[in-house]
Amino acid sequence: MTAIPPIPLNTLSSALAVRTHCPYCAFQCGILMGEDLGADMPRVSGDPHFPVNNGQLCIKGWTSSALLDHPERVTTTQLRDSRGEWRDASWEEAFDFIAGKFKTIRQRHGANANGVFGSGALTNEKTYLLGKFARVALGTANIDYNGRFCMSSAAAAQNRAFGIDRGLPFPIADLEHAEVVMLVGANTADTLPPMMQWFDRQKKARGRLIVADPRRTDTARAADMFLQLTPGTDLALANGLLYVALEERLTDERYIAERTTGFDAVRAVALQYHPARVERLTGVPESQLRQATRWLATARASMVLTSRGTEQHSKGVESVHSWINLMLALGKVGKPHSGYGTLTGQGNGQGGREHGQKADQLPGYRLIEVDAHREAIAKVWGVDPESLPRKGKSAFELLDSLGSEIRGLFVMGSNVAVAAPHLSRIEQRLKSLELLVVCDSFHNETSAHAHVFLPVYQWAEEDGTMTNLEGRVIRRRAVSRPPPGPRSDLDVLRELAVRLGCGEKFAFRTAESVFNELRRATAGATADYSGITYSKIESSDGVFWPCPSEDHPGSLRLFAERFHHPDGRARFFAVEHRPAGEEPDAEFPLFFTTGRYKEHYNSGAQTRLVSRLRNAKPIPRLELHPRLARRHRVVTGSRVTVESRRAKMEFVAEVTADIRPDTLFAPFHWGGRDAANLLTSGVLDPISRMPEFKLTAVRIAGVRP
Ligand code: SF4
């Protein structure tokens, strides 16, 4: 459908081509990299043998090498001078300055006054070491990461329902064999373009695709059925489908009895979601509710895949539960080419949430409040379990406490000054810090507030592992020689640990040696990587976790026999539709929802630097329906001021019938005055602590030509 065809391999020097992976999203497309003969920039081609993308790349992957020798690359360590200007510094001076400040803050305000903010883009090795650095070197409870803004609702619901959180419990290739796939709040044509090949194959095999989204996206255009639901009503939609399944006796009662617990309460709730009521709540006609249910229920193999559209809500966890409930009730989860999955977003969004950079977790998906888990990790780290901090603040709460409870912040690979909600507030918080350290390759909106900038290697300059959206652990390889100046994130953590008095616990010289400690730390845990080795990954297309021993082949599919709760049964959770944290009203009558362009990745810190991507999408444009546009005398190109309870901002309008008349859409890839997150709220899901990015009440406050 929309993926860009692979580049001919003869653009690479085949003798030098190395198999590695795209730096951006969780599809982790296989790429081939090598020095192009006659040019000095490494070149990229899709890896035709990697069985996830099969040689296809999107425009971001195709242009991914452009950053490696980009003129704006920072290669010198920088400190602020007395006038607030950057000045060059040696690494030694920077390390000494940071460690000194961390110690002073700890002495004056306690260990939890230092915080750490990580990223779903970091390798498993960095994720693991950053969590250890926070708990052992800094002794702080306050570490979290930007994946909290991405996958945390689906992760929490899967853990509760299945006892394990692997985004997809089956390989992506299973899509081809599913008779029906329902995508909820997922625009894969823009976010994961090479994934569309699997829907092409599925359709060729006479499969059907259902898409539920407030916008008629390119993904929706490829669907056999499109449900254009009201923002924030995914849960009501799923309960409505379950009502139909119950009414038409399409549930699998034997499966429910043998493999699950808790269905009676769910049945009682679902029976309150008559299609007429659900049509009023969601805007989806009863005929579509019935047809979608019949397709999912009667197919030999069917699956529901959710993404941020369902998950980034103040009821995100419950919304995911509603879809899991439906697929459990239909008896599909764990059956061949069937079930429920979430499409993880960030490059290492999966591994990033498994190895200890979340406020409530330790490596291997161990829980920081469980004594046995604390003891297991303390033993590997050689520390007293009592010395490990307890659960810290979640991402938004951590950022919201900067300058008050938290005085020093260490940021690795994250651009919080674009990605966080209620940005004007978060920017004020960043400005009030005594110490802000940013480790990155380029300056960004967050480093604009930093006191220290540490220039680090880029993705193609160092080794490591990533875990893609299927739970497949893969190798990222050092292909390109870094310029003089930058250092590895792993080096940075080691040098700081030395100055904080615990260098012996961070004495790793290679990524592989960190991975080997990670393997020991995860042995026997839910996310067990102990049987995965670099050489095992080298000799395969990746290894699926859990993999508890070196002779174990890895776990391609989960749930065929049992779920990961001690009794082997999946859990139903009775969930009810409820209003969003901020529903439209007379004052702010419109929904505002955020999303992505296919040309940009997350905060845009990297992709806005790539000229081909920037030229294709230089600014965020506000999508609005022609009926709404007429009412406000807006045409495409008009400048429209949108106001929420927190901020006003101006967008260039794009009038399109693809969006609901009650909804505005803008992408969130820009900072400063173009930051869509100036409008969004800090309302959080009570379980996952996910901010409600997908639903903000706004009004049109002005229009100019
Ligand atoms: Fe593949 Fe994602 Fe990279 Fe695009 S951004 S090439 S879909 S890994």
Pocket lining: 45 vs ligand 1, CB cutoff 6 Å: no
Pocket lining: 27 vs ligand 1, CB cutoff 6 Å: yes
Q: Where are the chain's structural domains?
A: 78-150+348-521, 156-342, 590-704
What number does the ligand 1 atom closest to the CA of 25 have? Answer: 2
Gyration radius (Cα) of the chain, Å? 24
For residue 302, the model assigns a pLDDT of 98
Looking from the CA of 694 toward its CB, the CA atoms found within 13 Å total 29
pLDDT category, 487, cuts 50, 70, 90?
very high
Q: Which residues contact 142 (CB under 8 A, 6 or more apart)?
A: 112, 114, 115, 116, 134, 359, 392, 393, 398, 406
Range name among 34-48, 230-244, 253-267, 493-507 with the lowest pLDDT average: 34-48
User: Which of 532, 398, 560, 436 has the alpha carbon at shortest distance from 475?
Assistant: 532
- Contact yes or no for 116/143 (Cβ under 8 A): yes
Pocket lining: 28 vs ligand 1, CB cutoff 6 Å: yes
Pocket lining: 25 vs ligand 1, CB cutoff 6 Å: yes
pLDDT category, 5, cuts 50, 70, 90?
very low
Distance 301 CA to ligand 1 centre (A): 27
For residue 535, the model assigns a pLDDT of 96
Pocket lining: 57 vs ligand 1, CB cutoff 6 Å: yes
d(CA 270, CA 287): 18
For residue 6, the model assigns a pLDDT of 33
For 487-526, what is the HEC assignment? ECHHHHHHHHHHHCCCHHHHCCCCHHHHHHHHHHHHCCCC
Give the tens place of pLDDT for each residue, 197-245. Answer: 999 999 999 999 999 999 999 999 999 999 999 999 999 999 999 999 9
Distance 61 CA to ligand 1 centre (A): 5
Q: Which residues contact 185 (CB under 8 A, 6 or more apart)?
A: 212, 213, 234, 306, 307, 308, 309, 310, 311, 694
Residue 211 pairs in a beta bridge with 183, 226
> Is 116 in a helix, a strand, or coil?
strand
Which residue has its alpha carbon closest to ligand 1 atom 6? 61
Which residue has its alpha carbon closest to ligand 1 atom 2? 25
DSSP annotation of 301 = S
Q: What is the mean pLDDT of residues 88-100?
A: 98
Give the tens place of pLDDT for each residue, 39-64. Answer: 555 588 899 999 999 999 999 999 99
CATH architecture label of 590-704: Beta Barrel (2.40)
Q: Give the CA distances from residue 250 to residues 245, 256, 293, in Å, rounded to whole numbers and listed in that order.
A: 5, 12, 9
Going by DSSP bridges, is the β-strand pair 663-667/590-595 parallel, antiparallel, or unpaired? parallel
User: Which of 618, 594, 572 has the alpha carbon at shortest distance from 150?
Assistant: 594
Buried/exposed code over 469-486 (b: 16+ C-beta within 10 A; e: otherwise): bbbbbbbbbbbbebeeeb
d(CA 496, CA 96): 8
Going by DSSP bridges, is the β-strand pair 408-412/114-118 parallel, antiparallel, or unpaired? parallel
d(CA 53, CA 211): 22
pLDDT category, 519, cuts 50, 70, 90?
very high
Between 3.20.10.10, 1.10.10.60, 3.40.50.1980, 3.40.228.10, what CATH number should domain 156-342 receive?
3.40.228.10
Distance 192 CA to ligand 1 centre (A): 6
pLDDT category, 36, cuts 50, 70, 90?
low
d(CA 601, CA 346): 9
User: Which of 380, 402, 377 has the alpha carbon at shortest distance from 389?
Assistant: 377
CATH architecture label of 78-150+348-521: 3-Layer(aba) Sandwich (3.40)
Pocket lining: 29 vs ligand 1, CB cutoff 6 Å: yes
Which residue has its alpha carbon closest to ligand 1 atom 7? 192
Buried/exposed code over 504-536 (b: 16+ C-beta within 10 A; e: otherwise): ebbebeebbebbbbbbebbbebbbbbbbbbbeb
pLDDT category, 35, cuts 50, 70, 90?
low
Pocket lining: 521 vs ligand 1, CB cutoff 6 Å: no
Q: Report, in this order, helix, strand and coil percent for the chain, each rounded to 5.
A: 35, 20, 45
Pocket lining: 222 vs ligand 1, CB cutoff 6 Å: no
Give the tens place of pLDDT for each residue, 367-395. Answer: 999 999 999 999 999 999 999 999 999 99
DSSP annotation of 138 = I
For residue 34, the model assigns a pLDDT of 77
Report the chain's mean pLDDT, rounded to a whole number: 94
pLDDT category, 150, cuts 50, 70, 90?
confident
Range name among 30-34, 395-399, 574-578 with the lowest pLDDT average: 30-34
Q: Which residues contact 633 (CB under 8 A, 6 or more apart)?
A: 703
Domains 78-150+348-521 and 590-704 belong to one CATH topology? no
Give the tens place of pLDDT for each residue, 612-641. Answer: 999 999 999 999 999 999 999 999 999 999
Q: Which residues contact 420 (CB under 8 A, 6 or more apart)?
A: 149, 395, 396, 399, 426, 677, 691
For residue 16, the model assigns a pLDDT of 60
Distance 198 CA to ligand 1 centre (A): 15
For residue 151, the model assigns a pLDDT of 86
For residue 116, the model assigns a pLDDT of 98
> Is 628 in a helix, a strand, or coil?
helix
Distance 29 CA to ligand 1 centre (A): 5
Distance 245 CA to ligand 1 centre (A): 37
pLDDT category, 591, cuts 50, 70, 90?
very high
Q: What is the mean pLDDT of residues 59-84?
A: 94
Going by DSSP bridges, is the β-strand pair 78-80/86-88 parallel, antiparallel, or unpaired? antiparallel
Alpha-carbon 201 to chain mean position: 26
Going by DSSP bridges, is the β-strand pair 452-455/78-80 parallel, antiparallel, or unpaired? antiparallel
Please report where in the chains the tokens 């379990």 appear, as a residue: 385
For residue 2, the model assigns a pLDDT of 36
